[in-house]
A and B are shown apart, each in its own frame.
Chain A
Amino acid sequence: MWELIEANRRKSLILFFSLGLTLLLLGYFFGSAYYPDGGGFIGIFFAFLIWGILSLISYFSGSKILLAVSGAKEVTRDVHPQLFNVVEEMKISAGLPALPKIYIINEAAPNAFATGIKPENSAVAVTAGLLARLNRDELQGVVAHEVSHIVNRDVMFMTFSGIMLGSIVLISEVFLRSLWFGGGRYSSKSSKSSGQGQMIIMIVAIVFAILAPILAQLLYFAISRKREYLADASAVRYTRYPEGLASALEKISDSSIDLKTANKVTAPMYIVNPLKPKGQKLTNLSSTHPPISERVRILRSISGGANYIDYQNAFNKVKKGEVSLIPSSGLADQTSVGLKEAAVIPVALGLDKQTKRDTGDIMMKVNNYSFINCSCGLKIKIPPDYKKTELFCPRCGTKHIL
C-alpha cells in the first residue's frame, strides 16, 4: 500500500515539475515581451508570486473554500447513520488515521467528492440525491472511491497541480488580453530600439500563451484520468465488492439532474464529472474523468479476487492492451483478497417519486427540520424556525405537542 502511494508521489512530482517549468518559461517570455532588458526575470518572479499566493491560500483553506463553494454542510450522525457507518467501515478497511468529516450537499443530483491534503484532516462530501438513490453496497463503493483519493494523496496532487494549471491559464489569459487592449504601447516603444529581435520574442510569447494552457491541461487531465482508475481499483480492494461501485457509477451517470454548485474548477474533484452533457462521447483527451461505461465494464470484468492485480487484469481485458495502470509495486502483492458476496438485504427499486421524496427528506434533515409521524399516516415536516409549541395535522387535525 505504501509503495503505491510512493509511486503516486513520484509521478506527481514529475508532473508538478513539468507544470512548474511551463510556468517558468511562460513568465520569462511574457516578461521579455514587455521589457527586453531583464524583463524575463521579473516575469518569472510575478508568475511564481501568483502561484505561491494561490498555493498558500489553497493549502490553508482550500478544503473550506471547496466545501463552501459546493454548498456542503457538515452533519451529525443522526442525519444519516448509514453514511456514518459506511465511512467508518472504509476508515478501518483503508487504515485511515482519523475519521474524515462528513458533509452532505443539498443537491438532488447524485455525486460525491473528497477533500483534505492530509489524511488526518480530510472530509467526504456526498449529495442528498446520492444518498436517496444508492443502496448500502453502492454507497460503500462510492465512499471507498473517495477514501482512496485521500489515501492515495490524490487530493493533495489535484490541489497543487490544479493551482499550477490555474496559474498558467490565468497568466496566459492576462497576457493575451493585455496585448489586445493596451500592450501595443510597450511593443511600439521597444520596437524602435531593438526591432526584429523583439518581434521574434513577441511572437514566441504569443504562441506560448496559446499553447501552454492547452498542453498543461492535457497533461493534467491524462493523469487525473489515471487516478480515477486507480481510485476505482483501491475501492474494490477496500470493499471487496466491485459490483457496488459499478452500479453506483451507472446510477450516477443515468441521472439527468445537473449539479448546480459544481463549476469548472471543482469538477475534477467529483467521482463522476458533473459538467459533462449527457450522451456525449467521453473518450476524448480533454476529459478529467475516464468514460463511465468503461469504468463500469472494467469493474464488472473483475473475477477471482479484489486485489490490485485483479483490477489490472480486468483493465487489460477491457482496454485490449498492456497498459500499466497500477505501479508494479502494487501488483507485486499477489495475495488473493476474496470477493464479497452480495448482501442479502433486498434493494428497493428506485421509484422516481420515492427517490425525490427521500432526497427532500435528507435535505430537510440537513437543514435541521424535525419530523412527526401523524397517526393518519402523514409525515409532517417542521422547519427549524417554527416557534409554537403545538401543531395541528393539516390532514386530520390531530394536535401534536412539540
Chain B
Amino acid sequence: MTGLIILLVVVAVFVLFVISMYNSLIQLRNRVKNAWSQIDVQLKRRHDLIPNLLETVKGYMKHEREIMENITKYRSQAMDAGTVGEKAQAEGLLSGALGQLRVQVENYPDLKANQNFLALQEELTSTENKISFARQSYNDEVLSYNNKIQMFPSNIIAGMFKFLQEEFFQVEDAKEREVPKVSF
C-alpha cells in the first residue's frame, strides 16, 4: 500500500515537472513569435513603401535603372523568402540597394526638394530603424529559447514534443558591425 502511494507521488511529481517544463517552452516559443511579428510588421511596411518610392523617384533618376531594378528584384525575393535566414539575407540585399539609391539621390537636387520624396524617405528610414531595434530583442528571445531546448533536462521534453530551434535574424551588412573611428 505505502509502495503504491510512493509510486503515485513519484509519478505525479514527474508529470507536474513535465507539464511545467512544457509550458515554459511554449512560453518562450511564443515570445520568439511575438518578437518576430514585431520585425515582420516593419518588413511588410517597408515592402509597401518601396513601390511608392520607385514611382516618385522614376521621373527624376533616368540613369539609375540598375539600382531600381535591383530594388524591385530584392523586394520580391524578400517577400517570397520563407525561413528567417533567407529573409534576413534578402532584406540585407534590399537594404544595400536602398542605400545605393540614397547615395545617388545626392546628385538630384530637384528630387531632394520633393516633399513627397522626403516624406517617403522619412518613413523608410524610420522603418529601417525599427527593424534594427526590434532585431535585438528578437535575437535575445531566440537565444533564451534555444538555450532552453539544448540544455538538460528541458532538452528531453523539447525532443519529445518536437520543439525546434529558431534561427537568429542576422545582418549580412558588414557595415553595421563596424565601429566607426572616433576622432578628437
Contact = CB atoms under 8 A, between A and B. Distances in A.
Interface stretch (B2-10, B17-25, B116-124, B144-152): B116-124
B179 A345 contact: no
Contact of A88 (B103, B119, B126): B126
A357 to B, nearest CB: 16
23 contacts: A81-B119, A82-B122, A82-B126, A85-B123, A85-B125, A85-B126, A86-B126, A89-B126, A89-B133, A92-B133, A93-B133, A136-B125, A300-B182, A303-B179, A337-B136, A338-B176, A338-B179, A341-B180, A342-B180, A343-B125, A344-B99, A345-B125, A346-B106
A150 B134 CA distance: 19
Nearest to B182: A303
A304 interface: yes
Most buried by B among A92, A140, A341, A343: A92
Interface string A322-360: 000000000000000111111111100000000000000
A384 interface: no
A95 interface: yes
Interface of A: 81-82, 85-86, 88-89, 92-93, 95, 136, 140, 238, 300-305, 337-346
A231 B17 CA distance: 42
A95 B133 CA distance: 10
Most buried by B among A85, A86, A89, A95: A89
Interface of B: 38, 99, 102-103, 106, 119, 121-123, 125-126, 129-130, 133-134, 136-137, 175-180, 182, 184
A257 to B, nearest CB: 26
Nearest to A93: B133
Contacts of A343: 125
A81 B122 contact: yes
B122 A85 contact: yes
A340 B125 CA distance: 14
B134 A344 contact: no
Given A89-B129, A344-B103, A346-B106, 17 more contacts: A82-B122, A85-B123, A85-B125, A85-B126, A88-B130, A89-B130, A89-B133, A93-B136, A136-B122, A136-B125, A300-B184, A301-B182, A302-B182, A303-B179, A338-B177, A342-B180, A343-B125
A92 B133 CA distance: 6
A345 B102 contact: yes
